[in-house]
Structure 1
Amino acid sequence: MSGIELTVNGRPISGEAEPRMHLGDFLRERLHLTATHLRCEQGVCGACTLLIDGEPARSCITYAVSCRGAEVMTLEGLETDPVIEALRAAFTAEHGLQCGFCTPGMLVTARDIVLRLPDADAARVRKELSGNLCRCTGYAGIVRAICRVLAERQAGAQQARADAGSRPSGLGPVGSRIPLSPRAAETIQRPAAARDQADAISVADEDLGLGGRQANLETALSFVVARPIDEVWAVLDDIERVARCMPGAKLAGPPVGGRLEGTVAVKVGPIATSFSGRARILRDEAGRSGVLYGAGRDRLSGSGARAEVSYALVPDGTGTRVDLSVRALLAGPLAQFGRSGIVQDLMARLAGEFARRLEHSLATGEEAPADQAPLNPAALLVSVIMARVRKMLGRFRFRRTP
């Protein structure tokens, strides 16, 4: 058993949970908050959707112990939320529920749609609901209900509560004290003491890296560049040149004092993101090593990322081996796609592509264009899967029978 302290519906909670107990069971069995429904327990059906640090998340695939210090909000805690009140009335008027099993998760998702996409039409609403399954209604009434609330808000029938500013959320797998996205403009009702404490927290300019938070992605990898160590070390000090070798990366301007701002464009199938963020690089000249502390956020999806990347250069014959250690915390909707094995393979492929570009730059003096196309891991993912299939098939040995 592991100790756990978190805030649930504005109330501090302390307890114990098995390391593999997911948040949904913790809420239902230990706190008796049964509005969070569990069905597939694979993160597919959306019935268990709730808010962690203000962002929608699947409680059936989130470990309870990973939510230490997080702020969790279930449907019970959203009873007086103005958007939920409007949605409940619209679901009733438009016959948006039958058996009701999917309704709690559907309401939390609908709230996210209303706040994040105020101009969404019926087609976009249906697309956004693709992660929430309903076996009864055929979705028609649900879509009408959400569109009804959107129309009411557009017409000014419902006054949005003003945001108190871009306040940081708590710790946890979703949010990670990254400022809330615009869709959280209507703050959740909480006790005044809890609101005052949260509003007193500010994100300092140097709030980069994990800052003591628990990473949900850790990996180590190495690559070799066929150039002398002093030459590689000197090039790594040229941040703009290094950025041009990184697929999808683009600096917003020249770095100042080891600090930089920029974007990393990522495209996975129909999902296109552009993380904007800041980073700081510290270098140890004597040890030929360094650490990058970074934090970024994608405004469209509300996903965030924090990372600490340590690197060290080691002579390797006539070349140089670069050892990398990556500790990252993915937050928001995109974190739901994380799978450690696949992610590690993809990072290894990206490191290989970076090494190839870096070596080419060192050998020829030519630099990659500054306006990199968005990183498309889809092709890399296919190659990773094919490599795994070939490796699996290679384990089989067929013998000729005598």
Structure 2
Amino acid sequence: MTTIALQVNRRAVELPAEPRTSLADFVRDKLDLTGTHLGCEHGVCGACTVLLDGVPARSCITYAAACEGADVTTIEGLDEDEITAELRAAFTREHALQCGYCTPGMLVSARDLVLRLPDSDERQIRIGLSGNLCRCTGYVGIVRAVQSVIEARRARNVAPVADGGRTVLGPVGSGRAATARNELRPARHAPAPAPESATPSSIPDFTPATMLDQRFTLPYPPAKVFAMFEDIAGVAACLPGVSLSSTPKPERVEGSIRVRLGPIGASFEGAARVERDPATLSGRIVGIGTDQRSHSATQGEIRYRLLPLEGGAATAVELSIGYTLTGMLAQVGRPGLVRDLAKRLVAEFAANLDRHMSGASSGQAAPAELSFWSIASDVLRARLAQIFRRAFGRGGAE
């Protein structure tokens, strides 16, 4: 996680976000400014266009972290803008929208054209809007709307603004944003790289970026399961891919966990602390670790609660798993993949725990793994189940 400070619609904003978070996701998910639409997410369709330091920019391919210190204006921030108000009226008058999905980005781009074009040249308008795709209107109404606003403003002797207010060359936002970033935050020196064997000196609390809920049952009373959870080394031996590097203590457990997503493997070395509440038969494990090979880091939190089943003869283990992943692996650690990996890890952990409590050896040494074939088989099973549901559902209806 990194803290990003910028101006959004004339309001100072400073919020944590993953380094890979796009500006579009930042304004939509963090600020609930959902007027910025996501279409292709490749910078092609233009639905996500916003103003970055006054210049139209594709927010879906712009990292929010790269905008630190910049001035961002979304379609919501143009409610009182004179040009945008005239464009909205013209879009209505010329029937320049149908479904409306492209309209926010179209208005932002059209505003830039009204601001800088000296006259209502159709060819220049079409070139200027070529980066904003519309699948409904055929563009005729849109072009007419932009032409009418330019003509009306020039008739009122409103002169065009040279280059639309651009003052620097380079990527959108590269001028003022760099200056503002230096003004907003003091210079910080990069820390020296830690030795490969180093583990964090403290395990801080954190707010997970992603949360997953899991549940499994064990054929043992809650008190017995809770007592088992006090055996940190025993629990670690049941977790796929986990190995301890020193004698565990509740306040600090050091070790590593190996994870594999198909051809991608990682070994996170770090430490964790264990908290327990006997009164509620619940607890928490908070950990932090780094993978030196991929230069990735993770923070994780597991909260558990034990509930009696079958009159106290069995136990339901409810897990809430939260994590934050940064670095190269964050680019491939999609929630869907991680969710599938977590399900397999928890299932193996439950089976190993059952064997351990029954006196049998867990016999696990392999890393937590999610292979290509396991993903493909899950997809195939889901598709087949869907086909059968449709087939039998249709037959039953007939």
Which bracket does the TM-score occupy, shorter chain normalised?
0.5 to 0.7
Contact kept, 8 Å, 1:259 with 1:279, in 2: the verdict is yes
Q: CA deviation at 1:253?
A: 1.4
Partner of 1:331: 326
Provide the rounded CA distance (Å) in 1 between the counterparts of 2:384 and 2:69.
Answer: 45
Contact kept, 8 Å, 1:289 with 1:312, in 2: the verdict is yes
State the Cα deviation string for residues 296-349 of structure 1 (Å, max 9, x = none). Answer: 111111111112211011111121100001121111121122333443233122
For residue 4 of structure 1, the aligned residue among 5, 13, 35 is 13
State the Cα deviation string for residues 198-237 of structure 1 (Å, max 9, x = none). Answer: 77xxx97324342xx4x32111111001112122111111
For residue 223 of structure 1, the aligned residue among 216, 219, 238 is 216
Provide the rounded CA distance (Å) in 2 between the counterparts of 1:73 and 1:267.
Answer: 38
Contact kept, 8 Å, 1:349 with 1:380, in 2: the verdict is no
Q: CA deviation at 1:288?
A: 0.7
Partner of 1:316: 309
- Helix, strand or coil for the counterpart of 2:292? coil
1:299 and 2:292 are equivalent in the alignment:
yes
Report the AA paired with residue 339 of structure 1: R
Partner of 2:119: none
Contact kept, 8 Å, 1:290 with 1:312, in 2: the verdict is yes
1:102-141 equivalences in 2 (<5 Å): none
State the Cα deviation string for residues 56-108 of structure 1 (Å, max 9, x = none). Answer: xxx4xx6x4xx6xx99699xxxxxxxxxxxxxxxxxxxxxxxxxxxxxxxxxx
Instruction: Summarize the Cα distance change of 1:228–1:362 in structure 2 as closer, same or farther, 3 Å threshold.
Output: same
Partner of 1:373: 366
Unpaired stretches in structure 1, ≥5 consecutive residues:
8-15, 42-47, 49-58, 75-188
Partner of 1:253: 246
Provide the rounded CA distance (Å) in 1 between the counterparts of 2:348 and 2:356.
Answer: 12
- Helix, strand or coil for the counterpart of 2:260? strand
For residue 346 of structure 1, the aligned residue among 341, 346, 369 is 341
Partner of 2:106: none
Contact kept, 8 Å, 1:243 with 1:250, in 2: the verdict is yes
Q: CA deviation at 1:385?
A: 2.2
Report the AA paired with residue 208 of structure 1: P
For residue 270 of structure 2, the aligned residue among 277, 301, 322 is 277
Instruction: Summarize the Cα distance change of 1:27–1:331 in structure 2 as closer, same or farther, 3 Å threshold.
Output: farther
Contact kept, 8 Å, 1:247 with 1:375, in 2: the verdict is yes
1:30 and 2:52 are equivalent in the alignment:
yes
CA RMSD of aligned residues (A): 4.0
Q: CA deviation at 1:32?
A: 6.0
TM-score, normalised by the number of residues in structure 2: 0.53
Following TM superposition, where does structure 1 have runs of at least 4 consecutive aligned residues deviating by more than 6 angstroms? 22-28, 189-193
Contact kept, 8 Å, 1:247 with 1:354, in 2: the verdict is yes
TM-score, normalised by the number of residues in structure 1: 0.52
1:152-171 equivalences in 2 (<5 Å): none
Contact kept, 8 Å, 2:306 with 2:318, in 1: the verdict is yes
- Helix, strand or coil for the counterpart of 1:232? helix
Contact kept, 8 Å, 1:292 with 1:308, in 2: the verdict is yes
Instruction: Summarize the Cα distance change of 1:244–1:204 in structure 2 as closer, same or farther, 3 Å threshold.
Output: closer
Instruction: Summarize the Cα distance change of 1:247–1:190 in structure 2 as closer, same or farther, 3 Å threshold.
Output: same
Contact kept, 8 Å, 1:243 with 1:251, in 2: the verdict is yes
Partner of 2:204: 208
Partner of 1:360: 355
Provide the rounded CA distance (Å) in 2 between the counterparts of 1:367 and 1:17.
Answer: 47
Percent identity of the aligned residues? 28
Q: CA deviation at 1:190?
A: 6.4
Report the AA paired with residue 385 of structure 1: V
1:239-250 equivalences in 2 (<5 Å): 239-250=232-243
Report the AA paired with residue 29 of structure 1: L
Instruction: Summarize the Cα distance change of 1:348–1:192 in structure 2 as closer, same or farther, 3 Å threshold.
Output: closer
Report the AA paired with residue 259 of structure 1: R
1:183-202 equivalences in 2 (<5 Å): 194-196=186-188
Contact kept, 8 Å, 2:69 with 2:184, in 1: the verdict is no
- Helix, strand or coil for the counterpart of 2:186? helix
Partner of 2:126: none
Instruction: Summarize the Cα distance change of 1:33–1:307 in structure 2 as closer, same or farther, 3 Å threshold.
Output: farther
Unpaired stretches in structure 2, ≥5 consecutive residues:
1-7, 17-25, 71-180, 192-198
Instruction: Summarize the Cα distance change of 1:198–1:32 in structure 2 as closer, same or farther, 3 Å threshold.
Output: farther
Instruction: Summarize the Cα distance change of 1:248–1:219 in structure 2 as closer, same or farther, 3 Å threshold.
Output: same
Provide the rounded CA distance (Å) in 1 between the counterparts of 2:257 and 2:323.
Answer: 15
State the aligned residue count: 248
Provide the rounded CA distance (Å) in 2 between the counterparts of 1:234 and 1:221.
Answer: 21
Instruction: Summarize the Cα distance change of 1:29–1:274 in structure 2 as closer, same or farther, 3 Å threshold.
Output: same
For residue 17 of structure 1, the aligned residue among 17, 24, 27 is 27
Provide the rounded CA distance (Å) in 1 between the counterparts of 2:388 and 2:336.
Answer: 19
Contact kept, 8 Å, 2:271 with 2:288, in 1: the verdict is yes
State the Cα deviation string for residues 129-186 of structure 1 (Å, max 9, x = none). Answer: xxxxxxxxxxxxxxxxxxxxxxxxxxxxxxxxxxxxxxxxxxxxxxxxxxxxxxxxxx
Partner of 1:91: none
State the Cα deviation string for residues 227-258 of structure 1 (Å, max 9, x = none). Answer: 12122111111111111111111111111234
Give the structure with higher Rg (CA).
2
